[in-house]
Structure 1
Amino acid sequence: MLQLPIDALIPDVRRTLSAHARAVLVAEPGAGKTTRVPLALLNEPWLQGRKILMLEPRRLAAKAAARYMAEMLGEKVGQTVGYRVRLETKVSAQTRIEVITEGVLTRLLQADQALEDTGVVIFDEFHERSLQADLGLALCLESQTVLRDDLRILVMSATLDAAAVSALMGDAPVLVSEGRSYPVVTHHLPRKRDETVEQATARAIEMALARDEGDILAFLPGAREIRRVEAMLAGLKRVPGIRIAPLYGMLPQQAQEAALQPGQQGERKIVISTPIAETSLTVEGVRIVVDSGLMRVPRFSPRTGMTRLETAKVSRASADQRRGRAGRQAPGVCYRLWSETEDRALAEHRTPEIAEADLAPLALELAAWGVADPGALQWLTPPPAAAYAQSVELLKQLGALNASGALTGHGRQMAELGMEPRLAHMVLRAIPLHLGEMACELAAMLQERDVFGGDRQGDDADIRLRFAALHDFARQAQAAQGTAADAAVKRRVLEEAAQWKRRLGLSGATSADKDANCGLLLALAYPDRIGQNRGDGRFILSGGRGAVFGKPQQLSQEAYLVAAELDDQGTDSRIRLAAPLTLDDLYRHFDELIVREAVVRWDDQARNVRARKRERLGALLLKETVWPNPEQGEVVQALLEGVRTEGLDLLTWTKPAKQLRERLAFMHRHARGDGWPDVSDEALLEGLDEWLAPHLYGMKQREDLQRLQPASLLEGMLSWPQRQALEQDAPTHVTVPSGSRIPIDYSDPDAPVLAVRLQEMFGLQHTPRLAGGRVPVVLHLLSPAHRPVQVTRDLASFWRDAYFEVKKDLKGRYPKHVWPDDPLAAAPTNRAKPRS
């Protein structure tokens, strides 16, 4: 048997797990940890005949690892070594090693929290930090602490912060295998201007074929890009000795195995793969790596509640792992399709999925586990509090959790299904409507890649077209149609739907009226994405967001629809998948979500009170009728809201009313004792209920408000003693020595102004004062032409010091007027000369 680097460390692994319940193993890619460690532990005494569970993050890697270990034992998969992945299980009563994907571990733990038939759980490739891996480790640590102190936990990875994982696991021992690697020469071939990633990859592959020896492994972010590069390299397929082998999860097993096997003698193999070949899988014969530097990552948008796949740059750790694939068996070469400057900017590690994923599945699993607060478990990266709280609220809306956050019976059924929570809710609610079979198909379709793939039909967002294509495919006995990849997607959707139907005891027949019910089912899953046409082909969603189609299509004309997928770009998200919904279905099936309310509000356009009866679903206004006889109290409040919105100028403020308000402001500032009302804008608006509301009964519009007398309303705020004090301490006029009654300007409460002709003040020695003598007026002394000649608060000082200079000027300008040498002894006058 071929010796691998991990073999030298196997005795240490055995000794460590014999003495410790937890351990961390770090081994370079190609060291052999995935296949050698489980087999080495198979007969350990502490295992006591129990199973070994090993988690792999990808289905393809899980199945390949199980097949390889079975071959090493000279057996078939399903005997000593088996696997469990979504939609496929190969185990038997004699199976001791089960290679499983991460979601399967969660199901096993929920069914048996103690994992009684398991001796060790191995987390392989933990550095990928998937949400399910983090959850699985947290639950296993909890199970080990509370229920199974003899359960072993081994975390394995090629690139991992071993110290952090060891600390999480109570300072677990760390074992390190250096692996075996050969030198790899790295070339940077950045993409040219306007060159697509597919074009750059094809160019690099052709260059490598000409310059270097060995098989090629090219990394691209997804199957769509792989098919495009295949098409660009079509000419190479006709060259003798060259074989192009795609590798991605949706390929048939035979095609996957062909990509992994070494090429024939004299043959050069070009494997074009998604990141599934980055770790775990060994592609034999590879000496050259072409790395696009891109990968697909799930990103959750709190705005839309959608998780979408985005193309992003790889991390430094991922790039190094990809490069290492070229140096497993001999010296190699790596072509990176980015510059050295871009290379230095790469993040060291990928962001843990738990930090940016939809946490609703996690919240549902924890509730099923019996944990309300995720802080009760041990996490390498705790789930973000805000995102987790949002997920809990969604589960409450779906009826999975009660008001206190405890799992309901409906929630337990959702958790047992193992679907995304929205889809599980949809399927369970569809069964009483006799739509369970169709709901299973719809759920399977929404969890897989679009059945139209890259076809031009995919531009049409109508999900009913996908149903038709799926059922056409099924009627033709799953005969391949379109591309092989699209046929694989359709086949997988049908298999997944069939599995759920069997679990739920459904007949397997789908409702004939698919077109009418598709939107209804989507609305069960996405009640916050029910859309109402705004009249221009744009939609407002019940959750408050805007949405629009990328280009006009039949659904653009629908009055109501449900958006199953949005792109979350811009103000109005683009609708990628949707189905129409009737208003009748909304009332029939979502009546509990419809809010019926009577709305009385101020219309700032019409400037009157509008009273309406409304029926509303979230942000959607379903129905509105006039309410002819609203409650008077609500009308009054609407009028008050109008005044608050538009301001006090909505009332008619006459000159006397304005002066009264200014006098009250003066008294509020300067009067002795409390109780004088604050008549500032802020205070009056805040106190509308007290001084204005009692006078509004019977009114409905602006004209009614303008008939009010604000002066009377303000006087109503005063007691009788205050009214008397107001006349005495803040009079409207002052009688000056000439006998004239001169108005006082109170616009500045700290400096009331008396504007009077200087001649009318002859004989008055001191400045008039207000507020019981505490506040002098500001005298604006005017010329005979009513132009200011002096401003003073101290009249005595003016007569003594400034009058004679002013007199010289006035005497020259107004010679017919009398300008006495002694103004205090002169007779005041409001004429040119005093009367004799």
Structure 2
Amino acid sequence: MNRLPIESVLPQLLDVLSLQPCAVLVAQPGAGKTTQVPLAILKAAWLQDQKILMLEPRRLAARAAARYMSKLLGEEVGNTVGYRVKNDTRVRPNTRIEVITEGVLTRMLQSDPALEGVGIVIFDEFHERNLHGDIGLALSRQTQSLLREDLRILIMSATIEAEPVAAMLDHAPIIQSEGRTFPVSTHYLTSKWIGRLEAAVVKSIQQALQENEGNILVFLPGAAEIHRAASQLAALKWGKEIEVAPLYGNLSQEAQDRALSASDDGRRKVVLSTSIAETSLTVEGITVVIDSGLMRVPRFSPRTGMTRLTTVPVSVASADQRRGRAGRLGPGVCYRLWTETEQRQLPPSSTPEIREADLAPLALELAAWGVPDPAALVWLDPPPAAAYQQARDLLLQLGALQENGGLTPHGKRLASLGLHPRLAHMVLQAIPLELGTLACELAVMLGERDFMRAAAERDADVRTRIEVLWRAAQGEQRADVDFGLCRRIAAEAKVLMQSLGISPSAQRASASGMLLAFAYPDRVAQRRSTGKFLLSSGRGAALPDLQPISAERYLVAAELDDNGAESRIYLAAPIEEDELLDLFADRLQKEQEVLWDQAMGTVRAKQRLRLGAIIMKESQLQDPNPELVVQAWISGIQADSLELLPWTRSARQLQERVNFLHRFDAQWPDMREETLLAGAAEWLGPHLYGLKSKGALSRLNLTSILEEMLTWEQRRWLEELAPTHIQVPSGSRIPVDYSMSEAPSIAVRLQEMFGLADTPRIAKGRVAVTVHLLSPAQRPVQVTKDLASFWRDAYFEVKKDLKGRYPKHYWPDDPMAAMPTNRAKPRS
């Protein structure tokens, strides 16, 4: 039997682990690290009787690795080598190597932080950087630092950048192993494919079958594309010489085994797989790889609090992993369904999930661990602050966290279930309502892909799926339903019920909306129009097509995206208003809204019962809060300008006089319009109590209100510094115009000023009043701030013009010696 490449570095690896607590092993695809390293470590003296835990990112890879190692030992799975994955365990008391998924490690650490009886934790395929892998490594490192100096940690990967990982592990040694791969010729498209992806894939499969021998492994982004491609291939009617086998995580174990194994009858096999076949798994007989260049990953949006599955281009590292699958047995061929130009634009590696995932599970795990602040742990990539804070806010809303970040008793129960915190909360809240059976079915169903995805555009109703699930249990089948997935969901729901002590009972699907409201309080939706809804978070949402639930008044959305202006609702269930009022009684906000109605010229008051952004009830408020009424008045005045107020000549003049004085002395109030508007609440607000209409507003004495802005001293000095009138030589009292605060003025007939040499002055003589001299007909003839100069230089030219037009009026030759008059001629 040929030696595996990993065997050449196993002695070095064992020597390092005998002396060091941590190591990093970089081994190329096909080197044999997944199966050979644990078996080699099993013989190490330092391990003694302790166990080996090896983490695999996927359940399928964990089962396959355990089965293969057991086969090498000539044993059945569950003896020396076993596995633990979600809802499936094959271990015995004497099991020494446990292959587990990353979430299982987190559960084990939470129940036993010291990992008693475990000698080493191996993180296989760590380059995938799943969220639970990062959590498990951070917790294992703290266990190693604080509780178990003898605990070993080994990171294994084919494509990871080893230096940052080694630095995180206190500069652990890095061991390199070459893979056993043969040359793979790579073919790119000359131009990007047009139309549906499946058509391009089927065309490439036909070409590959004609040009090459051996089996074909096709990488597609998800199960939906796999099924569409399989349907198109089935329509080609090749006969029995070609076997098409799907491969993705939600398949039954029997279907997965069929995809991984060689055909018994020698037929050629076309395996249609997601990225699950990139690493760890060995698909028998593969000599050709066809790569769509796409993968489906979850993306969490802190802006909306929602996660959506997004199809993105693969990284260079992932593309190389996929291509390497064709070179395991001998020279191979890889068809890449993208151009060489697109190849140069691919990212070098995939983004770690911790940067873009929903961090609510992480926040719950850290709180259960006793370190609610992630900065207390060592991370390869720390959790983003915004997403982590949003996760903590959700846990607070679910009652899982105390304000100081510690777990509440309810939070401890949530953490023990191993479900997403939302779904765990839903299940626990359902038990006292005797709806535990339905809640467990919903929790498991929502944790899997939609078994009716093809029907989602026409029917997003969760109740439909629950009823299909129940009918599937009775043996009923439908062409648009994945009944294999239905059976697995039912089995996992039963396991969950047993763990909680829930006895299966008849339930009503109509309660689905109420249960979903426990899990998704931020996704309660109120109909705005048929098919369009407003979420309690404030975001808009819409059903893609008109369907029975489009007309429901309230929905709870279990699955939706955050694309565009409105989120698309994929799964939802209706809920009654009285159920919402009962469930969220402690979260409903009673508010009074008092607004100025500009069109009606009055203050309107409403009382609202609000759930987040949703207004549940609204009614007229007969006795509104006086403070809110005043605020409405102020808002209306600020929106309409001060012209809404009852200005009189006296009030306007007072405003202008004070503004004139403010120019010289800032101690005087600033009564400019923009300043009055900005400070209306202070100077005007106290006078608005009890007023409700514009008619009532007109009764305000604005002059008195403005005077209240002056001190007693300022009121005393106001007339002396900025008089309302100036007495001119004729004896008339002429009003002073302060509308231009920089140049106060009077308008007076010329004859009334005879004999006055000095221009009138105000503000303690600091400001000369601008004098508008008028004709007998009250028309301006001259504007001056220097009367003496006017009498001396300009008067005679003015006299010459006016005397001809007004011959009956008095036009003396010496205006300084003439008697002033407010008549045509002075009296004798």
TM-score, normalised by the number of residues in structure 2: 0.94
Report SS of the residue matched to 1:54. strand
Q: Which residue does 1:617 correspond to in 2?
A: 611
Counterpart CA distance in 1 for 2:579 and 2:586 is 13
Give the counterpart letter for 2:460 in structure 1: A
Say whether the 8 Å CA contact 1:219–1:291 is kept in structure 2: yes
Say whether the 8 Å CA contact 1:291–1:322 is kept in structure 2: yes
Q: Which residue does 2:96 correspond to in 1?
A: 96
Residue 39 (structure 2) pairs with residue 14 (structure 1): no
Give the counterpart letter for 2:199 in structure 1: Q
Change (3 A) 1:299 1:798: farther
Match of 1:723 among 688, 695, 715: 715
Counterpart CA distance in 2 for 1:404 and 1:749 is 59
Quote the offset at 1:334 in angstroms: 1.9
Describe how 1:154-553 pairs up with structure 2 within 5 A: 154-189=154-189, 194-235=194-235, 238-239=238-239, 241-263=241-263, 267-454=267-454, 456=455, 459-476=458-475, 481-482=478-479, 486-511=482-507, 513-515=508-510, 517-553=511-547
Counterpart CA distance in 2 for 1:801 and 1:66 is 116
Quote the offset at 1:14 in angstroms: 0.5
State which drifts further: 391-400 or 793-802. Answer: 793-802
Say whether the 8 Å CA contact 1:191–1:200 is kept in structure 2: no
Give the counterpart letter for 1:185 in structure 2: S
State which drifts further: 704-713 or 203-212. Answer: 203-212
Quote the offset at 1:156 in angstroms: 1.0
Give the counterpart letter for 1:593 in structure 2: R
Counterpart CA distance in 2 for 1:292 and 1:783 is 94
Please list the CA deviations of residues 694-748 of structure 1 after superposition, one character each: whole Å capped at 9, or x if unmatched: 4334322222112212112112333454333222221223333455444333223
Please list the CA deviations of residues 454-495 of structure 1 after superposition, one character each: whole Å capped at 9, or x if unmatched: 2x365211111101100000122xx66436x71122112111
Quote the offset at 1:432 in angstroms: 0.6
Counterpart CA distance in 2 for 1:79 and 1:363 is 36
Describe how 1:590-601 pairs up with structure 2 within 5 A: 590-601=584-595
Say whether the 8 Å CA contact 2:192–2:338 is kept in structure 1: no
Q: Which residue does 1:713 correspond to in 2?
A: 705
Please list the CA deviations of residues 314-358 of structure 1 after superposition, one character each: whole Å capped at 9, or x if unmatched: 112111221222223322222222222222221111111111111
Report SS of the residue matched to 2:9. helix
CA RMSD after TM alignment? 2.7
Report SS of the residue matched to 1:498. helix
Is there any run of 5+ residues in structure 2 with no aligned partner, and where?
A: none
Quote the offset at 1:537 in angstroms: 4.3
Say whether the 8 Å CA contact 2:25–2:154 is kept in structure 1: yes
Please list the CA deviations of residues 500-534 of structure 1 after superposition, one character each: whole Å capped at 9, or x if unmatched: 101001112242x221x111101111112222223
Quote the offset at 1:564 in angstroms: 1.3
State which drifts further: 78-87 or 640-649. Answer: 640-649
Please list the CA deviations of residues 640-685 of structure 1 after superposition, one character each: whole Å capped at 9, or x if unmatched: 44434544332121233222111111122325x83x3332345434
Quote the offset at 1:539 in angstroms: 2.2
Q: Which residue does 1:655 correspond to in 2?
A: 649
Please list the CA deviations of residues 430-471 of structure 1 after superposition, one character each: whole Å capped at 9, or x if unmatched: 1011111110001111111112132x3652111111011000
State which drifts further: 292-301 or 582-591. Answer: 582-591
State which drifts further: 296-305 or 795-804. Answer: 795-804
Say whether the 8 Å CA contact 1:248–1:273 is kept in structure 2: yes
Give the counterpart letter for 1:366 in structure 2: L
Give the counterpart letter for 1:713 in structure 2: I
Report SS of the residue matched to 2:307. strand
TM-score, normalised by the number of residues in structure 1: 0.93
Q: Which residue does 1:764 correspond to in 2?
A: 756
Change (3 A) 1:764 1:421: same
Change (3 A) 1:457 1:24: closer
Counterpart CA distance in 2 for 1:645 and 1:287 is 74
Residue 743 (structure 2) pairs with residue 778 (structure 1): no
Give the counterpart letter for 1:427 in structure 2: V
For these two proteins, the number of residue pairs brought into alignment is 828
Counterpart CA distance in 1 for 2:302 and 2:161 is 29
Change (3 A) 1:606 1:55: farther
Change (3 A) 1:496 1:821: farther
Quote the offset at 1:639 in angstroms: 3.3
Change (3 A) 1:717 1:255: closer
Q: Which residue does 1:557 correspond to in 2?
A: 551
Residue 26 (structure 2) pairs with residue 34 (structure 1): no
Match of 1:678 among 670, 673, 690: 670
Report SS of the residue matched to 1:350. coil
Give the counterpart letter for 1:26 in structure 2: V
Report SS of the residue matched to 1:120. strand
Change (3 A) 1:733 1:92: same
Is there any run of 5+ residues in structure 1 with no aligned partner, and where?
A: none
Change (3 A) 1:323 1:792: farther
Residue 696 (structure 2) pairs with residue 704 (structure 1): yes
State which drifts further: 768-777 or 231-240. Answer: 231-240
Q: Alignment identity in percent? A: 60
Give the counterpart letter for 2:760 in structure 1: P
